[in-house]
Each structure stands twice: as structure tokens, then as C-alpha cells.
């Protein structure tokens, strides 16, 4: 099959969308499919043997946004795909879906970023609510042009259906269990990192992700000064300076990737997540694959990933203090941390990217059987 992936984010930018696209490309190529990636530049010329076509970009809040120039249509015409895969479409991906529809090419839209909620959050009161409604109108129009829309979690699928998005299906995300593994705890470099972070044997509470307002990281203040702990933050973004001021006792490790990121997870004792607008929560899976107990809000994607009291703990994000109340008992109970972490590791055991990509190819086949009228 010839698959064109139009993505809003790609290397060297690191986030959940980029990670998903890279793993899917690698698995599709391993299955023998031909793949073209269309992404904001600058980008590598190829990935896993797939050609990457870079388009111009503009920067919005330190995030590169691709400009949908006529080169996008030309690239699709030249590649002649059997299906267009739009990764977290909003600008570039929206244009990719429209071009595919105009050519009679089936398309699969991967809903991964809750843009309406983010826009509503960044504007106060009625202005924010209006921005959120306008964004949902755009999302509905855009996804209605796609042959299928895939949601990463059951709460997100229900949200899409509540907003009248047609032809929706569930497709989760894989995790790289070869990279994220508890075996890194025995790595001398992990031991050295733990000594630096917790020289007095503190319990390390870790967060991994983008440092931005939509991640609601203000909640970390609840656990920043728990006795016998050290808060460690991995990631970067526009909120880093503000957070450093609000969390003076925390350690900020900056952006990490590959083995350095895997060792950071392995150095943690508890993984703490704060955002309520996650459509999935890839870092929660990576933490679970490292056998960490996960503490996360009882809202959105984490509801699919954390079995409360079994693989981790869920807290009520509407009640201040509940994050600290969930974390505190784990600090003094290493046996419970180990039990929750072991259960989380077992839960993600079957979520390989290879298996999830097999499911995705099945969705491609389904999309090829969906007949939509041609549209300009």
C-alpha cells in the first residue's frame, strides 16, 4: 500500500504526535508499505526509508506550524497514495484531507490534540468559550471530509461523537517496551542520576512532558514540598521559567530523548501527571512500561490508561489537594509502589507499536471502502 502521512509535527520537534508518526512510519516500512511523510520544515530528508517532504513553517508559541502551500497537493499527486493519513490535523493536515477528498483518495484523520479545549483555556470567560466553539466547528468540518476519524481513547471517542464527528473509531497508541523498561534501573548511569537527584535517598516524583499552560502544571505545587521527596521535571516549553519560579525546590532536567529519557523514567519512584485535556497520555504508558506507579487526573485519556488502585491512582482535578493526597501514601510505602508498578507493566505488555500498526492498516482498508462525494 502507498501511504502519505501529512503531519502537523515531525522531527526535530519532539512531542506525542512526532513519536506516534515516527513509530508508525517505522512499522509500516517493516511491513513493506511505501510511505511519504509531509511535514513542517526543517525536517530530515528521510525516516526509516520513507521520504520526508518538508513544507514552510511559522512559529506559534514556540511550536512550528506548517504552511499548506500548493506544494502539498503537488507532493500527493507525485506520490499517488492509496490512502492519506492526517496526523493530528488542524492546519497542514486539514489541507491534506481536503486535497485527498478532491482527488477521490481515502483519508484517515488521527485525532490526537484537543485544540478546542486548549483555545478555550488560553482565553478568559466568554471569549474562551467562543474560541472553543469555533474550534469545534472547524474540527467537525475538517473531520467530516475524512473517510474515517480515529480517536486514541474511549473518553476522546465519546467527546468526538458528542460533537457530531462522523465515522469515528477507536485506535490507541503503542509503547516502545524495548526502550522504556525497568531494566534501566540497573544501569550505572541511572544510579548516578539518582544519586544526583536524591542524595539523601528521597523518593523521586517525576513528570515528563511539554512545559506549557495546557499541561496544567500548577498542580505540581501540591507535591513540590512533600517530606522525603524530590520533584523532578523533564521537558521544556514556554512555561519553564514561570514554573521554575513557582517550584523552587524542583529539579528541571530539560528535554531528554532516547536512552537519556528512558533512564530518567527509571530514576523515578512515582510518575505524576497533571493535565486534564489529554486525548491519550503517551508518557503515562512510557512510565508504566518502566514499572512506575502512575498518578493522574480522573479525566480524559488517563481513564483508559490508569486502573485506579491497580496500576496507579486517579485524583479529582476539581478538588485542590487531591493530587497530594494520592501521592503521599505512596511515598512511605515502597511495597505498594512496586505492586502498582508491576501491574502497570503487565497492562502495557500487549501494546506494541507493531500490533497497533497492524490495527491501523486495517483502518486504512476500511477507509478505502468508504465512498464520499468528490469535493473541491
DSSP string, 75-104: HHHHH--SEEEEES-SSHHHHHHHHHHHHT
The CA distance from 301 to 305, in Å, is 7
DSSP labels, 133-181: HHHHHHHHHHHHTSSEEEESSHHHHHHHHHTT--SEEE------TTTS-
Backbone angles phi, psi at 323, to 5 degrees: -65, -50
User: Averaged over 46-75, what is the pLDDT?
Assistant: 90
pLDDT > 90? residue 38:
yes
Region of poorest pLDDT, from 112-116, 152-156, 238-242, 245-249: 112-116
Q: What is the reported pLDDT for 376? A: 47
Query: Is 61 a residue whose pLDDT tops 80?
Result: no
pLDDT tens column, 268-297: 999 999 999 999 999 999 999 999 999 999
- pTM to 2 decimal places: 0.92
pLDDT band at 363 (very low <50, low <70, confident <90, very high): very high
| Grid cell in block for residue 130 | 467562543
**Cα–chain-centroid distance for residue 87?**
11
Length of the chain: 376
Q: What confidence score (pLDDT) does residue 132 get?
A: 77
Instruction: Domain 2-174+352-368: give its CATH architecture.
Output: 3-Layer(aba) Sandwich (3.40)
Closest among 177, 204, 129 to 291, alpha carbons compared: 177
Query: Could you tell me the residue ranges of all domains in the chain?
Result: 2-174+352-368, 182-347
The stretch 33-46 carries a mean pLDDT of: 97
pLDDT at 171 over 50: yes
CA quadruple 121, 152, 43, 368: dihedral positive or negative?
A: negative
Instruction: Identify the pLDDT of residue 328.
Output: 98
Are the folds of 2-174+352-368 and 182-347 the same? Answer: yes
Grade residue 16 by pLDDT with cuts at 50, 70 and 90: confident
For domain 182-347, the question of CATH label 3.40.50.2000 is answered with: yes
Amino acid at each position: 500500500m502507498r501511504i502519505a502521512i501529512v503531519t502537523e509535527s515531525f522531527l526535530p520537534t519532539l512531542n506525542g504526535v512526532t513519536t506516534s508518526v515516527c513509530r508508525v512510519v517505522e512499522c509500516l516500512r517493516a511491513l513493506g508499505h511505501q510511505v511519504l511523510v509531509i511535514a513542517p520544515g526543517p525536517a530530515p530528508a528521510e525516516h526509516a526509508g520513507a521520504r520526508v517532504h518538508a513544507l514552510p513553517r511559522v512559529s506559534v508559541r514556540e511550536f512550528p506550524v506548517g504552511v499548506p502551500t500548493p506544494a502539498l497537493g503537488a507532493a500527493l499527486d507525485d506520490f499517488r497514495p492509496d490512502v492519506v493519513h492526517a496526523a493530528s490535523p488542524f492546519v497542514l493536515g486539514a489541507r491534506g484531507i481536503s486535497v485527498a477528498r478532491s482527488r477521490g483518495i481515502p483519508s484517515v484523520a488521527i485525532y490526537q490534540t484537543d485544540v478546542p479545549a486548549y483555545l478555550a483555556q488560553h482565553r478568559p470567560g466568554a471569549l474562551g468559550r467562543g474560541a472553543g466553539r469555533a474550534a469545534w466547528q472547524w474540527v467537525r468540518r475538517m473531520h467530516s471530509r475524512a473517510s474515517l476519524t480515529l480517536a486514541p481513547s474511549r473518553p476522546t471517542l465519546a467527546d468526538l461523537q458528542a460533537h457530531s464527528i462522523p465515522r469515528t473509531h477507536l485506535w490507541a497508541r503503542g509503547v516502545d517496551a524495548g526502550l522504556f523498561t525497568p531494566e534501566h534501573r540497573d544501569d550505572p548511569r541511572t544510579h548516578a542520576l539518582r544519586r544526583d537527584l536524591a542524595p539523601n535517598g528521597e523518593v523521586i516524583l517525576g513528570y515528563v512532558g511539554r512545559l506549557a499552560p495546557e499541561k496544567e502544571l500548577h498542580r505540581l505545587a501540591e507535591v513540590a514540598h512533600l517530606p522525603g521527596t524530590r520533584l523532578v521535571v523533564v521537558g521544556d516549553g514556554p512555561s519553564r521559567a514561570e514554573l521554575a519560579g513557582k517550584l523552587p525546590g524542583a529539579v528541571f532536567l530539560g528535554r531528554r530523548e532516547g536512552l537519556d529519557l528512558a533512564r530518567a523514567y527509571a530514576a523515578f519512584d512515582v510518575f505524576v501527571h497533571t493535565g486534564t485535556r489529554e486525548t491519550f497520555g503517551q508518557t503515562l504508558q512510557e512510565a508504566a512500561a518502566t514499572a512506575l506507579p502512575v498518578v493522574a487526573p480522573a479525566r480524559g485519556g488517563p481513564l483508559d490508561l490508569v486502573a485506579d488502585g491497580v496500576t496507579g491512582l486517579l485524583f479529582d482535578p476539581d478538588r485542590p489537594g487531591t493530587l497530594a493526597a494520592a501521592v503521599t501514601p505512596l511515598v512511605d510505602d515502597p511495597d505498594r509502589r512496586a505492586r502498582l508498578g508491576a501491574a502497570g507493566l503487565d497492562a502495557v505488555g500487549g501494546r506494541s507499536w507493531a500490533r497497533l500498526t497492524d490495527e491501523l492498516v486495517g483502518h486504512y482498508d476500511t477507509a478505502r471502502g468508504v465512498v464520499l462525494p468528490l469535493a473541491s
